[in-house]
């Protein structure tokens, strides 16, 4: 089984690689330090499983998961996260991830997660399972919650790049659009969110875990 590791911290990648390479049936075939590199290496190496950190610069793990599975839906993705927020877990699963592991339990749970996914099952950290079940029960009891503003994958990517200090020209180059289109998209996003300056947009990106700015 070929495994790709995507995490912006080299020490985490080294720890995961050491653990996985000890397993006879697994081999780490590549490492990525951000979401875009993970996409590129997935296309090049066609791994069976991608272990994906949720918080990475340039493109976060959720958006990278969406893009990878759009082109290679057979790949299994395990999200690594420090977040227990219900909407982050929900977005990860809706993006197509088959596993969600808290980093605090990473080494204890990773092999169990891989085993479950090989059997075509989902794997959630026990703490996350409790949160998901509780949310489902509350939803059934209280009816629909307030509808969140829906953003496209490109809009979330642009928000992340703006929050990380990229210029319009850099954003345009990163996602392969013209500067004029990038600026128009920025204005559309701000209007949609009722946000009218970069500082507030950055706060929104951090609050919604689109970026952490702790890379």
d(CA 156, CA 61): 12
Determine the pLDDT at residue 107: 83
Of 26, 45, 48, whose CA–CA distance to 37 is shortest?
45
Pick the CATH number of 2-142 from 3.10.580.10, 3.30.950.10, 3.40.50.2300, 1.10.3210.10: 3.40.50.2300
What are the sequence ranges of the domains in the chain? 2-142, 153-207
Confidence of residue 150 (pLDDT cuts 50, 70, 90): confident
Q: How far is CA 115 from CA 41, 60, 97, 112, in A?
A: 23, 25, 15, 5
What is the mean predicted confidence (pLDDT) over 117-134? 82
pLDDT digits (tens, 9 = 90+) for 165-174: 999 999 999 9
pLDDT digits (tens, 9 = 90+) for 162-200: 999 999 999 999 999 999 999 999 999 999 999 989 999
Pick the CATH number of 153-207 from 1.10.10.10, 1.10.1740.10, 1.10.10.60, 3.40.50.460: 1.10.10.10
Q: What DSSP string describes 160-175?
A: HHHHTT--HHHHHHHH
pLDDT digits (tens, 9 = 90+) for 65-118: 999 999 999 999 999 999 888 888 888 999 999 999 999 888 889 999 999 998
Q: Which run of H or E residues covers position 28?
A: strand 27-32
For residue 123, what are the β-bridge partners?
A: 99
Q: Is the pLDDT of residue 120 over 80?
A: yes
The first and second tokens of residue 171, run together, are 């954003």
Determine the pLDDT at residue 65: 97
The first and second tokens of residue 96, run together, are 């197509």
- Phi, psi angle pair for 57, to nearest 5°: -70, 160
Task: Report angle CA 203, 204, 206 to the nearest 5 degrees.
Answer: 65
* pTM of structure: 0.81
């Amino acid at each position: 089984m070929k495994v790709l590791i995507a995490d912006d911290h080299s020490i985490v990648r080294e720890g995961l690689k050491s653990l996985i390479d000890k397993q006879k049936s697994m081999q780490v075939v590549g490492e990525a330090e951000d979401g875009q590199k993970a996409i590129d290496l997935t296309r090049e190496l066609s791994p069976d499983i991608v272990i994906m950190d949720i918080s990475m610069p340039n493109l976060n793990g959720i958006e990278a998961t969406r893009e990878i599975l759009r082109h290679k839906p057979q790949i299994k993705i395990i999200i690594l996260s420090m977040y227990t927020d219900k909407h982050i877990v929900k977005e990860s699963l809706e993006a197509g991830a088959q596993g969600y592991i808290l980093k605090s339990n990473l080494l204890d749970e990773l092999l169990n997660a891989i085993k479950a996914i090989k059997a075509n099952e989902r794997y959630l950290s026990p703490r996350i399972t409790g949160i998901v079940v509780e949310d489902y029960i509350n939803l059934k009891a209280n009816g629909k919650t307030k509808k969140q503003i829906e953003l496209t994958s490109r809009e979330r990517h642009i928000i992340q790049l703006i929050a990380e200090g990229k210029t319009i020209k850099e954003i345009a180059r990163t996602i392969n659009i013209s500067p004029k289109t990038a600026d128009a998209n920025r204005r559309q996003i701000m209007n949609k969110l009722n946000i009218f300056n970069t500082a507030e947009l950055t706060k929104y990106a951090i609050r919604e875990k689109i970026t952490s700015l702790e890379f």
